[in-house]
Structure 1
């Protein structure tokens, strides 16, 4: 019989899930790009349909490019982002099918099959990139970073600033830093969560 996979200890699980919250305002200190790269190197092993891997990331350090992106945010999301040490625009590549000969080589003709199915590609790209984004957030936490995900933005506007050459399509933004600041609004009180028997059915 195959050997069972070892479980992760509760302390580690706490650091990844219950012990972490969305961070709005971060403590001072820069974020090393190497941590973002290492987090992606771990998150890339997330499952996706036919290994399509549509997730794309645009890393923005403080500066003119991020300032231009912030102009397309809603409410106080722009202020939060302007104050963050680093920002990652999470997007998907609607042309993910171009890479199928490399990513899923044992099935021939997938690139050609999906070439004319733009609506299908966009749905599949969005669905799988959101799945990858969840893993990426956990990977960032695992590397000691706090994360502030937000979707209150004009996605086409953000694309016009950073994705005109790639054609990627924005899904959300992740602000990243080393822990919350001392501001009382740095992290909001934790909201309730459903128990298993409220969120699941066993048939």
Structure 2
């Protein structure tokens, strides 16, 4: 079905004026806002509707204390000050839910159980997509996002994911950004530098 382009204000909020937050106000992020964000991101596409991403919303002092040893020095202060830090992970056994998520293909689980490599690649690729959807959904509900590498994934797994089949991919700080912490916007590649038409 045809869709109209969303208006300029929405495009600005999602893309053109959106910035990576590096400093945060003290305004809290209620759990209901995180649920609203999740209810948007879960609707975006993944392969076979597999939805392998798993999210840990770290928002308590105890949770931040567990996360702190895994952070690089450059990410420490802003992550400790962010109201929420999301651990974007993926479930290596995502296929256990395909009977619910992809019911019209009863044998879909078998597509993945025969190859741990294929399952891991599917989980990582589509979990990464869902992490990107999280950033856009956060912006759509009025939050700022600060996605980052610069941490020890094994330490995060050890602190938060023991006893699961989940693996850490990346982190996203969420909250209401302090404009004083913004860097000048970095350049972007033009389409002729980043794409080909064949």
Interval containing the TM-score (normalised by the shorter chain): over 0.9
What's the counterpart of residue 194 of structure 1?
Answer: 189
What's the counterpart of residue 138 of structure 2?
Answer: 140
Which moves more between the two structures, 72-81 or 21-30?
A: 72-81
1:59, distance to aligned residue in structure 2 (A)? 0.5
What's the counterpart of residue 21 of structure 1?
Answer: 19
What's the counterpart of residue 117 of structure 1?
Answer: 115
Residue among 47, 51, 54 paired with 1:49 = 47
TM-score (norm 2): 0.94
Q: Is the 8 A contact 1:16 1:138 kept in 2?
A: yes
1:129, distance to aligned residue in structure 2 (A)? 0.7
Matched position secondary structure for 2:124: helix
Flag the structure with higher helix content: 2
Equivalenced residues, count: 198
Matched position secondary structure for 2:87: strand
Matched position secondary structure for 2:56: strand
Q: Is the 8 A contact 2:44 2:133 kept in 1?
A: yes
Unaligned regions of 5+ residues in structure 2, if any? Answer: none
Matched position secondary structure for 2:119: helix
Unaligned regions of 5+ residues in structure 1, if any? Answer: none
Question: Are residues 1:149 and 2:147 paired?
Answer: yes
Provide the rounded CA distance (Å) in 1 between the counterparts of 2:177 and 2:13. 12
Q: Is the 8 A contact 1:65 1:161 kept in 2?
A: no
Provide the rounded CA distance (Å) in 1 between the counterparts of 2:53 and 2:111. 21
Residue among 151, 163, 166 paired with 1:165 = 163
- CA RMSD for the aligned pairs? 1.4
Matched position secondary structure for 1:110: coil
Provide the rounded CA distance (Å) in 2 between the counterparts of 1:67 and 1:74. 14
Question: Are residues 1:68 and 2:63 paired?
Answer: no
Matched position secondary structure for 2:73: coil
Matched position secondary structure for 1:71: helix
What's the counterpart of residue 105 of structure 1?
Answer: 103
Provide the rounded CA distance (Å) in 1 between the counterparts of 2:136 and 2:111. 34
Matched position secondary structure for 2:106: coil
